Structure 1
Amino acid sequence: MVGGGAFNLPSDMAAAANSGPVILGWLITGIGMIALVLVFHNLTNRKAELDGGIYGYTRAGFGEYLGFNSAYGYWMSTLLGNLAFFTLLFSSLSYFFPIFGEGNNLPSIIASSALLWAVHALILSGVKEASLVNLITTIGKMIPIFVFLVLIVFAFHYDVFLQDFWGPDTRGFDWKIVKEQVKETMLVTLWTFVGVEGAVVMSGRAKKKKDVGRATVIGLLGTMTIYILISILSLGVMSRSKLADLKAPSLAYVLEHVVGPWGAVLINIGLIVSIAGALLGWTLLAIELPYVAGREGVFPSWFAKENKNGSPSASLWVSNGIVQLFIIIVLFSESTYQIVYSMASVAILLPYLFSALYQVKLVGTGETYEKGDSRTKDMIIGLIASLYSMWLVYAAGLDYLLLTAVIYATGLFLYGKARAEKGEKWFRPGESLLALFILGAAVFAIYMMWIGQIQPGA
């Protein structure tokens, strides 16, 4: 989870909202993400046979085609997440080497490509070996974050934090302004938590299933504490307008404002270490789900191929090939870190929503529950997680939802190939209407981009 999002939280949150709405945004996110994590925890225990969890829940509860879309959307989200990390990494390196600009120019593209295939080679040597490197980088990235939090406490000023608390140039609480600002924080906060389901996705490699739920809950509570402290304390050090204008990674420039240039150097080094680990971790997530889906016949079977070291080699080659294509596209589209992570966040909404709905369905049908078991708590948690996921869909906005339809539409070929391998028709009753809806939305999105009506990040 702690990849690039934490290192740009000060400016991302300040660009979205003032101090009061930021607190409300974290409150909503905290309740929603805790509910989602408890859903993952519960489903991991009750449906331990479903490897790859987050997509398996959708498939088991709502059919083959929605299950495929959940897997495909999650896969695309992780690939876009890696693209966001590359962009932020070289934007950070530009502090030391200005040649990299904002991380989306030609030198950045060349360097990103080289790093991509270095990570590729490491994972081919074995998943366990790559996970060990990820553990080392996790320790390395937490040190500068903790230094930041300790030092920033002494620079915090209540008058700066309370300035325009509920909104710009307002004397008090205006729900219309507050609601819009809270809504603007949602994709930012969601992005920082994407990855919380990582233990569930990798559940097929766990020695004990109970460790999957435990790792998920501990991971969420730890990172949530870090994120809230970073965003709130930063709003008490610099004004919202100054924070919003900071270059990525803004955490570096907030600490530079407090202690001088060495603070920016420390944070930038920490971010480089962090993203190195995040690239590994996210690539492992990206290749695991297609691998499991290929093994279960939801993706074409060749996704399930392994090399002699037990790495999902076919899934890895396809995944990194797509990331390489994304990297090249960034050069010509000049996409920024914020635009890419927003796309990644929206693409993952379907897997989150249907995981929550699956818990509601299990409680309703009584499946996995013994006679006399109380289901009330699980139903409440499932409903909260479902409502939070629906709120995120609303908060994402029409532009990003339409662009996500384009992503989902590109998966139709893979779905058809997987169905053909099993000698089955492409769609079951009712699924064809959903496919037509996705295709229609994708065509409309492409047309709106063509005429300039959809401009992400504008």
Structure 2
Amino acid sequence: MTDQAQVTPDTQNAAGGDNSGGAKLGLLALVAIVVGSMLGGGVYSLPQNTAASSGLGPVLIAWCIAGVGVFFIATVFRLLSDMRPDLQAGVYMYAQQGFGSFIGFNVAWGYWLMTCFGNVAFAVIVMDALNEFFPGTFTDGNNLTSIICGSVLIWGYNYLVLSGTKVAGFVNTVGTIAKLVPLAAFVLILGVMINYSQLLTNVWGNAPAITTVVGGHTEPMSIMAQVMAPLTVTLWAFIGVEGAVVLSGRARQRSDVSKATLIGFLLALVFYVLLSVLPFGAMTQAELSVVANPSTAGVLQHVVGAPWGSWLMNVGLIVSVLAGWLAWTMLCAEIPMAAGQNGAFPKAFARTNSNHAASVSLWVSSAVMQAAMALVYFSSNAWNTMYNISALMVVPAYIATALYMVKLCLTHEYDRYAHKGRGFALLSGILGALFCILIFYASNINYVVLVPILLTIGLPVFIWTRKESGDNKAIFEPKEIIYLAVLLIADALVVWMFMAGKISV
């Protein structure tokens, strides 16, 4: 999960910096941004999250599928960044340009909610990590004490960003070091100490069989089902792969953006595979599936046979997330503020205070985070709930961007912006979109059905935006009425499934 902040002029102002005269970023710095963007707090839970319902073989296949899919999504962002530098105000701009204001709004709304729920996921996992040092005080990261302390953090960061803090760069640097050192230690220690012959034990999860409950009956999971199970986790881990593209305007050489995106993506992929695979040489799949999150802590303690293994990973996670949280709070505020400035959100969201901080959007974002923080109290597995919702809410942004590339290629508008490479661009858009659809198919239906519901909640804000525009146009254009009808039909289907007991929300 990303710990990135989209550094635009407005974000820099919010942090008390200035983008206009800053030093340009070289290839190494851009690679660090891409890797740092993706290696967030969620990486500390990869061993359990990927092994929860899958053997080693299916986990490796899942990472291969995710690697290919995210590669093409990153490629689409990279190509569009080169072709349409005028559309870099936010990830929703591609959707708005290609499919109209309603789709653009829904992408912006969904991406914004993703950042809000992502921050709540941060709160849950930090509280869970603190439980290592205060046993029973922060049980599962969502008991009453956790909710209170998480809420204090939400509003504390709200205050910091409102104050136009100038420490964002320093804090984020500390956070990057704090998360990389323990993770590197985890990989090196496991690489030396695990039993490699155990990696080949029950590779496909069939001896003993990994089971699932279907219709009240326990059944063995097929290899395909095991491959599908961790795909949402893999997407969650890759959120932020567009980090170098977001900062392309600050690159010393524009060609470095493409290189940094590819190198950073490959480095993160290798790291993810090692974090997911090596634990199978220390514990069985059944043991890994029940390790408490952050699961790297439990795995390392098991390998070294001493509490310091757990302490190291928990301290690294706490410092990493607390530092990255500042950037993510800025991002939460930046998205609706930029959308307000560009007419995708109401103008009120564009307001800033005397410190140039996005005041209105920050207060609203913090309120949304507080509401979600209160709701996790009622969740039986708060961490899984938050990361699943966050991962799925980013999919509309990725699929709309991929489909915009497909549209450019099929209508030959692509040729206006580039003289070659249309075939590869079309392939990237198609495969990126198919990967997003696969994510929906592979994800837990109880989380997938929340996507249309959460998008529909934004309808009053969209109507407010359209009425405020003053262009005397209808709120919904003819094609947008079709989009609206599809969304409302999906909502009705969700309600029916819930009433029929087919899903539980």
TM-score range, shorter chain: over 0.9
2:490 counterpart letter in structure 1 = A
In structure 2, how many angstroms separate the alpha carbons of the residues matched to 1:176 and 1:450?
Answer: 28
| Partner secondary structure for residue 49 of structure 1 | helix
In structure 2, how many angstroms separate the alpha carbons of the residues matched to 1:419 and 1:211?
Answer: 39
Q: Where do 5+ consecutive residues of structure 1 fail to align?
A: none
* Cα gap change, 1:301 to 1:215, in 2 (>3 Å): farther
In the other structure, the counterpart of 1:386 is 433
* Cα gap change, 1:434 to 1:377, in 2 (>3 Å): closer
Is 1:165–2:203 an aligned residue pair?
A: yes
CA-to-aligned-CA distance 1:8-65 (integer Å, 9 cap, x gap):
1111111131011111001111111111111111111111111234211111111111
* Cα gap change, 1:152 to 1:183, in 2 (>3 Å): same
User: Please, which moves more after superposition, 229-238 or 195-204?
Assistant: 195-204
User: Please, which moves more after superposition, 308-317 or 77-86?
Assistant: 308-317
The 8 Å contact of residues 51 and 292 in structure 1, kept in 2 or not, is answered as: no
**Equivalent of 1:39, from 58, 72, 76?**
76
In the other structure, the counterpart of 1:347 is 393
Is 1:454–2:503 an aligned residue pair?
A: yes
Is 1:77–2:137 an aligned residue pair?
A: no
In structure 2, how many angstroms separate the alpha carbons of the residues matched to 1:309 and 1:226?
Answer: 39
Superposed displacement of residue 450, structure 1: 5.8
In the other structure, the counterpart of 1:364 is 410
**Equivalent of 1:28, from 40, 48, 65?**
65
User: Please, which moves more after superposition, 116-125 or 369-378?
Assistant: 369-378
**Equivalent of 1:103, from 128, 134, 141?**
141
1:89 counterpart letter in structure 2 = V
User: Please, which moves more after superposition, 44-53 or 321-330?
Assistant: 44-53
- For residues 52-63 of structure 1, the aligned pairs below 5 Å read 52-63=89-100
2:409 counterpart letter in structure 1 = V
When the two structures are aligned, how many residues end up with a matched partner? Answer: 453
The 8 Å contact of residues 47 and 296 in structure 2, kept in 1 or not, is answered as: yes
Superposed displacement of residue 204, structure 1: 7.7
Superposed displacement of residue 160, structure 1: 1.7
1:439 counterpart letter in structure 2 = L
In the other structure, the counterpart of 2:44 is 7
* Cα gap change, 1:373 to 1:401, in 2 (>3 Å): same
The 8 Å contact of residues 54 and 197 in structure 1, kept in 2 or not, is answered as: no
In the other structure, the counterpart of 2:24 is none
1:90 counterpart letter in structure 2 = M
In structure 2, how many angstroms separate the alpha carbons of the residues matched to 1:2 and 1:68?
Answer: 28
In structure 2, how many angstroms separate the alpha carbons of the residues matched to 1:383 and 1:65?
Answer: 22
**Equivalent of 2:486, from 416, 424, 437?**
437
The 8 Å contact of residues 17 and 181 in structure 1, kept in 2 or not, is answered as: yes
Is 1:264–2:310 an aligned residue pair?
A: yes
| Partner secondary structure for residue 40 of structure 2 | coil
In structure 2, how many angstroms separate the alpha carbons of the residues matched to 1:415 and 1:344?
Answer: 21
Is 1:413–2:485 an aligned residue pair?
A: no
**Equivalent of 2:477, from 400, 424, 428?**
428
* Cα gap change, 1:208 to 1:114, in 2 (>3 Å): farther
Is 1:303–2:341 an aligned residue pair?
A: no
Is 1:182–2:227 an aligned residue pair?
A: yes
1:148 counterpart letter in structure 2 = F
* Cα gap change, 1:391 to 1:177, in 2 (>3 Å): same
Superposed displacement of residue 119, structure 1: 1.3
The 8 Å contact of residues 35 and 384 in structure 1, kept in 2 or not, is answered as: yes
**Equivalent of 2:123, from 71, 76, 86?**
86
* Cα gap change, 1:420 to 1:131, in 2 (>3 Å): farther
2:395 counterpart letter in structure 1 = L
Is 1:135–2:182 an aligned residue pair?
A: no
In the other structure, the counterpart of 2:449 is 402
* Cα gap change, 1:346 to 1:451, in 2 (>3 Å): same
In structure 1, how many angstroms separate the alpha carbons of the residues matched to 2:159 and 2:253?
Answer: 29
**Equivalent of 2:159, from 100, 121, 130?**
121
| Partner secondary structure for residue 369 of structure 1 | helix
| Partner secondary structure for residue 178 of structure 2 | helix
CA-to-aligned-CA distance 1:399-420 (integer Å, 9 cap, x gap):
3221111100100011000000
In structure 2, how many angstroms separate the alpha carbons of the residues matched to 1:296 and 1:127?
Answer: 25
* Cα gap change, 1:254 to 1:185, in 2 (>3 Å): same
In the other structure, the counterpart of 2:150 is 112
In structure 2, how many angstroms separate the alpha carbons of the residues matched to 1:25 and 1:114?
Answer: 37
In the other structure, the counterpart of 2:7 is none
The 8 Å contact of residues 178 and 317 in structure 2, kept in 1 or not, is answered as: no
Superposed displacement of residue 318, structure 1: 0.7
Is 1:376–2:376 an aligned residue pair?
A: no
CA-to-aligned-CA distance 1:176-211 (integer Å, 9 cap, x gap):
811111111100111111222345456688898766
In structure 1, how many angstroms separate the alpha carbons of the residues matched to 2:411 and 2:99?
Answer: 14
Superposed displacement of residue 432, structure 1: 1.9
Name the TM-score, length of structure 2 as normaliser: 0.84
1:349 counterpart letter in structure 2 = V
CA-to-aligned-CA distance 1:84-131 (integer Å, 9 cap, x gap):
111111011101012111110110011001111121122223376424
Q: Where do 5+ consecutive residues of structure 2 fail to align?
A: 1-37, 210-219
* Cα gap change, 1:28 to 1:76, in 2 (>3 Å): same
Is 1:226–2:263 an aligned residue pair?
A: no
Is 1:331–2:377 an aligned residue pair?
A: yes
The 8 Å contact of residues 70 and 351 in structure 1, kept in 2 or not, is answered as: yes
Is 1:48–2:91 an aligned residue pair?
A: no
* Cα gap change, 1:216 to 1:293, in 2 (>3 Å): farther
1:436 counterpart letter in structure 2 = A
In the other structure, the counterpart of 2:340 is 294
The 8 Å contact of residues 194 and 303 in structure 2, kept in 1 or not, is answered as: no
| Partner secondary structure for residue 348 of structure 1 | helix
**Equivalent of 1:66, from 97, 103, 106?**
103
* Cα gap change, 1:235 to 1:141, in 2 (>3 Å): same
In the other structure, the counterpart of 1:278 is 324
* Cα gap change, 1:451 to 1:366, in 2 (>3 Å): closer
